[in-house]
Chains A and B, each alone.
Chain A
């Protein structure tokens, strides 16, 4: 099953309360998937050339050790230890080199997100778990995506949890299953796309990252995805400036979108949207099969 939510602030006032409303939405979808949960928050945009990385260590690792190692290559870097061996790293440099170096120095450190705005937090268990651990409800932000997982295609670990990010400021949450992910993963790996798990949804994220690397816009990348991805899906895709929604042409996975002057929201079910301010008088509709919907700042 799985539950997905997306919330996009249209006003500065709403950005202040984004975390609060987003947390409520994701919590409401809890019974669509109890296995793991995660969220991608776009906020605190860094200055030019400053990269923000969220990483999670699968083995004990101290903040100081991580910082000392990173500072050998990036003297101005900073590291903040968050809950559950999650680290927020900022450094001046390119993500490709930085991620490569982190992977070499710390093989058990999984990179969850990189970019100038995105921060991904995920963990096993219910949404409540990840929302409380990382104090998501007190966060401000321009937009956020969330997922609660009922695992079908691969193991239940943090690495197999959504959102998946395989490119700077790009992430994807997925309700459904893909059937051609193995062949597509092999093809994308040859093209230089890195995967951290054998999860089918991560392949969709990698596919979009590959298309964007080719110079395509997110809309163009999604149009190609309609041709190349075989399976069932409702996707919500986050970019630095906004988010997009796409359902496969068979459209058996649910989705509802609603919009006011203050926000745009999408969710697997309307009840996640119902708790937003002004939802009762806002139009609510199902995105049409195979049609790309997108919003950006």
Chain B
């Protein structure tokens, strides 16, 4: 089923209610949302195999807590797009504001433009792919998952990072505490190539990227202490 929903005459609550009722029995429904005009909390909490295409700029929290659904934002996104995503695929054709993909556990967030500060903060397993640049404090306390930055990174990238892998193609204003450059082995190049291909990125060669991650000096888990937990 293919539907269209015009936010110029409808409400966010009605739209989200409609979206939650679609995609039953693993049947993929498509819905095109027009006139978002920067509205907040669009297409949040989706748990079914939907394809949602939002034509225009969105406000805060778009596609938050997403599961399974594919959400495409044809424009810019405000703060915290795809926050706490569990699975699925969220694409933004423009730029994203703060905290993009924050705390996301799974799925993929693809940003075709730039990301503002704190992108991927406390990342918990999702893949975040940014075609442009990311702002300061990105990947702060990022725990697992992968971040691919095709452009430049702002100050204190990966501060207090745990085990998220960071692949950066451009320059880095500064690395955060306990974030260090690591060797780019064949295994990592292959992993990155797979990520780039899956995101449809052809202009960037995996060999041009550097890998960054935790020096593991800030968080000190020693296997000798395992019995204590």
Contact = CB atoms under 8 A, between A and B. Distances in A.
Given A286-B95, A286-B116, A270 B79 contact: no
A272 B117 CA distance: 22
A289 B136 contact: yes
B184 interface: no
Nearest to A275: B37
B59 A270 contact: yes
A274 B117 contact: no
Nearest to A253: B98
Contacts of A286: 95, 97, 116
B107 to A, nearest CB: 24
Which bucket holds chain A's interface residue count? 10 to 19
A254 B79 contact: yes
Contacts of B136: 251, 289
A47 interface: no
Contacts, number: 41
B117 A270 contact: no
Classify the interface of chain B: helix, strand, loop or mixed.
Answer: loop
Q: In the complex, which range does the number of interface residues on chain B fall in?
A: 10 to 19
A89 interface: no
A280 B95 contact: no
A269 B56 contact: no
B211 interface: no
Interface in A231-289: 251-252, 254, 269-275, 280, 284-286, 289
A274 B78 contact: no
Nearest to B117: A251
Interface string B199-226: 0000000000000000000000000000
Leading 6 A-B pairs by shortest Cβ distance: A271-B38, A270-B38, A274-B37, A274-B38, A270-B57, A286-B116
Given A270-B59, A284-B57, 8 more contacts: A251-B98, A252-B117, A254-B98, A269-B78, A270-B37, A272-B38, A273-B38, A280-B56
Interface of B: 37-39, 56-57, 59-60, 76, 78-79, 95, 97-98, 116-117, 135-136
8 contacts: A251-B116, A254-B98, A271-B37, A272-B38, A284-B57, A284-B76, A285-B95, A286-B116
